[in-house]
Chains A and B, each alone.
Chain A
Amino acid sequence: MSDHSLLRVNAVTKFYGSRVGCRDVSFELWPGEVLAVVGESGSGKTTLLNAISTRLMPTSGTIEYRMRDGQFRDLYSIGEAERRFLMRTDWGFVHQNPADGLRMTVSAGANVGERLMAIGDRHYGNIRGSAAQWLGRVEIETNRIDDQPREFSGGMRQRLQIARNLVTGPRLVFMDEPTGGLDVSVQARLLDLMRGLVNDLGLAAIVVTHDLAVARLLSHRMMVMKDGNVIEHGLTDRVLDDPREPYTQLLVSSILQV
């Protein structure tokens, strides 16, 4: 395990007018570590994810990221070009709705290849080769490489979105309800795939989900949010098996058993 964290979030607060989005959230994330942020709709978890991923400027607080040169930089004080480069290469963002993260009217291969071109790869054969290899890794048959994602099922689209995000070898991936809206059997396949990729690639990830089973399967550490505040934070199996806070106990006891 690395001794240096990858991300430092310090007292991040976001107000929408007088309404609290998230309040005073601090944590560190290490390479290879998966953090789940759980809570019901409106608890502030997506606000937090967007604030950390520089999609939504926080009202106060800082977010520092360790760049590939080993130096920590405050993400809201770096230039726009540097920030965009970061988002295209070192980070991935997997949206709940694949249509938000894919270009639906270009081919699957181009969806994956586009991120390679964005970092300067110009060799068509290499790009297509990488795209084909990544489609294989996310279990999409390579003969679908020229098809558009709008012809794909929901589960395939989500796997394509993951391939598009991982092709540049990111160190940090943000996921917003990555299995939301999928059939249970499709979810299981996606979860198993994500688990394998996270392990093999040593990715750090922040996964926002309201599904505690997803959190248990994917994450090492878990944060529970309610009304914009982090109310409980710890090892995932500790939080789920020995929840301390009234709200966490309610959440855990509300899981349906099969």
Chain B
Amino acid sequence: MATPLVVSEVAKSFTMHLRDGVRLPVVEKVNFAVAAGECVVLGGPSGIGKSSILKMLYGNYSVDSGQILITRDDVTVDIAGADPRTILSIRRDTIGYVSQFLRTVPRVPAVDVVAEPLLARGRSQEEARARARTLLEKLNLPEQLWSLPPATFSGGEQQRVNIARGFITNHPLLLLDEPTASLDAENRAVVIELIRAKKEAGTALLGIFHDSDVREQVADRIIDVSEFRAARDAA
């Protein structure tokens, strides 16, 4: 089976035009791969570019140079040069992403926020909602919240909605940006169990976990992102 994710010579910087065009290098020479059934963790201190790497893989940040190769069913796409339609179809079918914060849509109830990725893949509303309810129950989100829009939920409740939304599909590649940051021990254990189930199902996972306990329980390997730290411009 082909490697689902290969990152090769990727570099990223930001040019801040509102600050006299100052260029902020983030990472360079990023090289790694994630195999099916493996959970790889991006390590290193805050501000080193871990989230930026995940965002580039998801097509949310542009890439200055290098390749991000996503392979599914022997078809390989370079995210770094893909057009918006291609990125949207890869997000629908191939790459899942649990972000740190839930972006809520007015009036849409939690159960439908979770069910949406399955609906987008053509499943029936009944099936998608049933699966969403199963996940929300597993994550101990009180049932009376399911039919409410998550805008007014607590941080931990929103994060559980976000996790359920990310784990509901069987995307072969899953990106996790601190999914356990605002969870209590009981729910952290649930997330660890969900991650293990994904690994057994052959999903390639790439995540950021600041909680060392969670990291030790899920990580097959840790990549130190400080190795990719870009050289700063000479001032």
Contacts and interface: CB of A to CB of B under 8 A. Distances in A.
Interface of A: 1, 30, 33, 188-189, 191-192, 195, 217, 220-221, 234-235, 237-238, 241-242, 244-246, 249-250, 253
Interface SS, B side:
mixed
A20 to B, nearest CB: 23
A60 to B, nearest CB: 26
Contacts of A217: 105
18 contacts: A30-B85, A189-B106, A192-B105, A192-B108, A217-B105, A220-B88, A234-B62, A235-B59, A235-B60, A235-B84, A235-B87, A235-B88, A242-B60, A244-B15, A246-B17, A249-B16, A249-B18, A250-B18
B107 A189 contact: yes
B126 to A, nearest CB: 16
Contacts of A246: 17-18, 21
Interface in B147-178: none
A188 B104 CA distance: 12
B61 interface: yes
Interface in B82-98: 84-85, 87-89
A191 B149 CA distance: 15
Contacts of A250: 17-18
Interface string B1-36: 000000000000011111001000000000000000
Interface string B58-86: 01111000000000000000000000110
B61 A242 contact: yes
B62 A242 contact: yes
* Most A Cβ at <10 Å: residue of B16, B84, B85, B108: B84
B199 interface: no
A132 B87 CA distance: 39
B60 A188 contact: no
A238 B55 CA distance: 9
A30 B62 CA distance: 23
A192 B18 contact: no
Contacts of A241: 55, 60-61
A191 B84 contact: no
A198 to B, nearest CB: 13
B228 to A, nearest CB: 18
* Most B Cβ at <10 Å: residue of A191, A195, A237, A245: A237
Interface in B35-67: 55, 59-62
Nearest to A216: B103
A234 B16 contact: no
A253 B18 contact: yes
B162 to A, nearest CB: 15
A1 B89 contact: yes
Given A1-B85, A33-B85, A191 B106 contact: yes
A188 B89 contact: no
A195 B105 contact: yes
Contacts of B59: 235, 238
A14 B17 CA distance: 30
A118 to B, nearest CB: 33
A238 B60 contact: yes
A140 B18 CA distance: 46
B62 A238 contact: yes
Contacts of A189: 106-107
